[in-house]
Structure 1
Amino acid sequence: MTTTHAMKRKKRTRKTKRKITRVACWNVTSWNGRDQKVLIEMEKHKIDICELSEIKRKGKGTGRFDNYTLIYSGKAKHERTSSGFGILLHEKYTQVIEEIDYINDSILKISLNLNQTTMHLVNIYAPDISKPTEESERFYEDLQNTEMNHHEIIIFGDLNAQIGDEILPGVKQKHNEPTFNENGELLIDFCARNELTIITPTSHTRHNTTNIGTDHNLVLCKLLTEQPSSIKKSPVCIEKYNIESLESDSTCKLYENRLTDRLNELDLNECDVETCWNKIKKAILQSADESIGKRKDPQPNIDSRIKTIKREHWIKFASDMDHDIYGAQRKVWKILKNRKKPVNEFVQSKGVSIETWVEYFERLYSANETHEIEYQTAASATVSKAKVKEKLRKAKNRKAPGTDKIPNELLKHGCHKLITTRTSLCNKILSKGEIPNEWHTSITILIFKEGQKTSPDNYRGITLLCTTMKLFTALIKDKLENHITNREEQQGFRKGPN
């Protein structure tokens, strides 16, 4: 194991910020079938970061196991399973992963953001002494080209090097084996050029563990490093109107009366579209605040809910197994078979920046060609109160509003004066040929699908539009359908043949 010189210094000014990090290395010879025993040892020795060698897992990926996350790299799926390595991180470090970089089959780099300091964990599997010298030199050349930006660095893994017992200040100390090989020479040269210190296992760093089927000891050391900031997320509360209270006749009547009084005070004849919309919106929201009020709903903790569902599922499964083991053979074999499948859970590294999202959506919705359209509003292009009332009646309840923050329920339970005012606003928009500025803005909710969470292509966007704008577009749709003649051929998104 090698570390930077900066990690060895003890500065009084930073004593309160830097604490002990328990880092370990262990050749487990195989991860499959030994994962639970390894995790027990991790908890027993309170290990924060552990490098695992010869885990013999195919492919590259991440998997969650209790309080730890395994980030691994192995042979391709079509190749014979051999070697393979990975890093086991405690959950407090999983939350501060900045980047996971699979350099090649022998080098894996994980960057952690620790209290405004970046720590690089570099897991390596160096060629053994039986390989040609050119292969070892090429390996250290790739390691040298790995970008680490002179931050705190921990390089660990199977180095296959013997460095001798000669003391080199700043690079290695005593208590090493007297033997020396070519890989050891390459390692010493690499550490000297990069100001790295070699930490050699001793009898104090080797720990006896329970028998998990490997003849290698767990090697543990303590490093003084920055600690991840404790992330205590306060529950996010969303303010929502008490829409359910409108089911009460007295509350609904109070809302109608307050809204009627406010709308009667408005003079919308000489107003432009923007002013007219702002006055109507203000009247609706103020009336709702006074009559039904708001409540703060904390967002549900999805992760804890998923864990609860999984736990309930396994309790039920175990109960079924106890009740009738004879009929559960197929389920048992299915579970045993699935244990060999790769884990498809992914750890979120650094989030996608706002600039990247802006560029992505601009590219997604950009038009290759723009056309200037000349339009002329027909004299009959007006909407009636009956149409507005019909569309309000058909509007669905419990739909999230857009930037106007007006749920459909506030429009549906509004007074007769609101229908008149809404009709006037729609006709004013048709005659002027412009819409309120707020209707140009929407709220986009990004839902992760699968793959790497750092790629915008792996998200599905759900757009929340103003409920009042959706009402207006529904009226326009009916107007357009009246001027379109149905034909015999297929017609998409229209009534009749499709």
Structure 2
Amino acid sequence: MEGLVTSLLVELRIGLTITLNSNGEQLIQFCAHNELRINNTFYPHKQQHKYTFENTRGHKSIIDYIITNRNIHPSKILDVRTLTSANTGTNHHMVLAIMRNCVQKKTHNKPKVTEKLNIESLSDDTTKYLYQQRLRKAINENKILKDDTVELAWKRLSTDIRTAAEEALGKRKVNLNGKPNTKPWFTHEIKSPAEEKRKSYLQYISQTITYADYKVVRNKTNMEIQTIKRQFWEKYSSDMENDLYGGQKKIWNMIRDIKRPINEYIHTKTITLKEWERYFHELYGDTVTSQPTEQKQENISGEGEDIQQQLISKDKSEATMRKMKNRKSPGLDNINNELLKYGGNELIDQMHVMFNKIYDQRKVLEEWKVSISIPVFKKEKKDPNNYRGISLLSTTSKLLINIITEEISSSGMSEEQQGFRQN
């Protein structure tokens, strides 16, 4: 009796005589017994926006529901309807419920857009040659002079590198807080047939074209999308086989975007800059050491020119630059390893001159003393103590350190030396 009364109320709300099967009766009885509310038929809409199932034989029914309990007051549900324009690929229409709930307001962060060099384009031999030619021209017009200080020499050389890189490689805009790309295969080639399929579906539901015509467009579009997806993944796999080191980064980025932890989307208390400053200051402490005395500097500078020839040789500088790893994050100077590695002979000569100036003048560049500290999350995100810091140093400073290390390990160690050996 209770189910019959409820079905009559549903007929009054929907405005049609309905056929109720056993499943519908059980659903009504279940909702009535547990004080649940079926929200589909409470809101006035066109008939096409009430049916949730419709096939090509003209059968229509309501078999998908939005059901709520007493914890959700009816005034919080603003509307319930089906979306016939949503192409779900099945005979079931998508059911949309608009609800008003007391949740924390989502903050829309302003997009943080930055520009980065297209370093990946250096994998192409033509682009690499163009970069070397532009760098050669820039160096010839702005060479390091004999009387230049270390700071001025590095300013000239870094300006030449950046100018040549921007001209040859170009820049791309990167949105730092943008949404992750979970479908890298969705390109402009797919967007066009997908739009054609959507328009054809809208024409079909508005009875402008027949289902057979829509089916032809749908099957054709699905075949095109499958072909484009297959070609993308084949190229992706081929690139990983040819560039295993770069492929590791691609795979990690894809896994990180797809399986992003849920708590990253939850608004949490942000850590202020002062808290970060206090944390890293306590972590690293006071690392400033006393400056060497003038007497010590005089003793070192009197060693002669033979030690300079032994420590910093051009051949060792070139060999160390060739062994630099690709796809490493730059430091404050924003000069990647690839820009040094593929710079050509002119850059090697200028780097050798600058390194000798650093050795002669006994002075380290001020830019090399500054690193970029990046906190990497470990556990709880609200506490700075649960982060570990990674410091990004200048690539040229690491290059000089590697050159000196190579020289010492190859010529400055005796057979009795036990520590600081690779093997």
Q: Distance in 1 between matches of 2:148 and 2:102?
A: 58
Corresponding position of 2:421: 494
Alignment of 1:133-152 (within 5 A): none
1:418 is aligned to 2:347: yes
SS in 2 for 1:395: coil
The one of 357, 364, 379 aligned to 2:276: 357
SS in 1 for 2:308: coil
Corresponding position of 1:117: none
Letter in 2 for 1:432: Q
Corresponding position of 2:402: 474
Corresponding position of 1:394: 323
Letter in 2 for 1:242: N
1:384 is aligned to 2:313: yes
Corresponding position of 2:388: 460
Q: What's the CA shift for 1:300? A: 7.2
Corresponding position of 1:263: 139
1:403 is aligned to 2:338: no
Q: Distance in 2 between matches of 1:351 and 1:289?
A: 35
Percent identity, aligned pairs only, is: 33
Letter in 2 for 1:291: A
Q: What's the CA shift for 1:419? A: 0.4
SS in 2 for 1:444: strand
Task: Call closer, same or farther: CA 1:248–1:349 in 2, change over 3 Å.
Answer: closer
Q: Distance in 2 between matches of 1:422 and 1:40?
A: 72
Contact 2:144 2:157 in 1 (8 A): no
Q: Distance in 1 between matches of 2:144 and 2:370?
A: 26
Indicate the RMSD between aligned Cα atoms, in angstroms: 3.6
Q: Distance in 1 between matches of 2:145 and 2:375?
A: 38
Q: What's the CA shift for 1:251? A: 2.4
Contact 2:144 2:350 in 1 (8 A): no
Q: What's the CA shift for 1:291? A: 1.4
Q: Distance in 2 between matches of 1:39 and 1:461?
A: 47
Task: Call closer, same or farther: CA 1:384–1:301 in 2, change over 3 Å.
Answer: same
Q: What's the CA shift for 1:464? A: 1.4
Q: What's the CA shift for 1:92? A: 4.8
Corresponding position of 1:98: none
Q: Distance in 2 between matches of 1:258 and 1:273?
A: 24
SS in 2 for 1:381: helix
Task: Call closer, same or farther: CA 1:416–1:369 in 2, change over 3 Å.
Answer: closer
Corresponding position of 1:244: 120
Deviations 1:161-195 (A, max 9, x none): xxxxxxxxxxxxxxxxxxxxxxxxxxxxxxxxxxx
Task: Call closer, same or farther: CA 1:45–1:402 in 2, change over 3 Å.
Answer: farther
1:431 is aligned to 2:360: yes
Alignment of 1:185-196 (within 5 A): none
Contact 2:127 2:168 in 1 (8 A): yes
Corresponding position of 2:97: none
Task: Call closer, same or farther: CA 1:351–1:47 in 2, change over 3 Å.
Answer: farther
Q: Distance in 2 between matches of 1:466 and 1:39?
A: 58
Letter in 2 for 1:391: T
Corresponding position of 1:198: none
Q: What's the CA shift for 1:445? A: 1.5
Letter in 2 for 1:254: L
Q: What's the CA shift for 1:381? A: 2.9
Task: Call closer, same or farther: CA 1:349–1:300 in 2, change over 3 Å.
Answer: closer
SS in 1 for 2:270: coil
Task: Call closer, same or farther: CA 1:257–1:351 in 2, change over 3 Å.
Answer: same
Q: Distance in 1 between matches of 2:171 and 2:367?
A: 22
SS in 2 for 1:447: strand
Letter in 1 for 2:271: V
Q: Distance in 1 between matches of 2:344 and 2:132?
A: 5
Letter in 1 for 2:341: K
Q: Distance in 1 between matches of 2:178 and 2:287?
A: 42
Deviations 1:171-223 (A, max 9, x none): xxxxxxxxxxxxxxxxxxxxxxxxxxxxxxxxxxxxxxxxxxxxxxxxxxxxx
Corresponding position of 1:450: 379
Alignment of 1:279-428 (within 5 A): 279-299=156-176, 349-367=268-286, 370=289, 373=292, 374=296, 376-377=300-301, 378=303, 379=305, 380-382=307-309, 383-428=312-357
Task: Call closer, same or farther: CA 1:403–1:371 in 2, change over 3 Å.
Answer: closer
Q: Distance in 2 between matches of 1:449 and 1:365?
A: 18
Letter in 2 for 1:244: E
Task: Call closer, same or farther: CA 1:446–1:486 in 2, change over 3 Å.
Answer: farther
Task: Call closer, same or farther: CA 1:479–1:351 in 2, change over 3 Å.
Answer: same
Q: Distance in 2 between matches of 1:293 and 1:369?
A: 39
Name whichever structure is richer in strand by fraction: 1
Contact 2:144 2:156 in 1 (8 A): no
Stretches of structure 2 that go unaligned for 5 or more consecutive residues are 1-65, 78-100, 184-260
Q: Distance in 2 between matches of 1:462 and 1:389?
A: 28
Task: Call closer, same or farther: CA 1:348–1:298 in 2, change over 3 Å.
Answer: closer
**Matched residue count:** 246
TM-score where L is the length of structure 2: 0.51
SS in 1 for 2:389: strand
Q: What's the CA shift for 1:485? A: 3.7
Alignment of 1:17-36 (within 5 A): none
Q: Distance in 2 between matches of 1:236 and 1:417?
A: 37
Q: What's the CA shift for 1:252? A: 2.1
Letter in 1 for 2:132: E
Q: Distance in 1 between matches of 2:180 and 2:130?
A: 41
Letter in 2 for 1:425: M
Letter in 2 for 1:456: P
Deviations 1:412-432 (A, max 9, x none): 111211100000000100111
Deviations 1:234-287 (A, max 9, x none): 544342212232233332222212111111122421110001101100011111
Q: Distance in 2 between matches of 1:439 and 1:413?
A: 22
Q: What's the CA shift for 1:353? A: 1.9
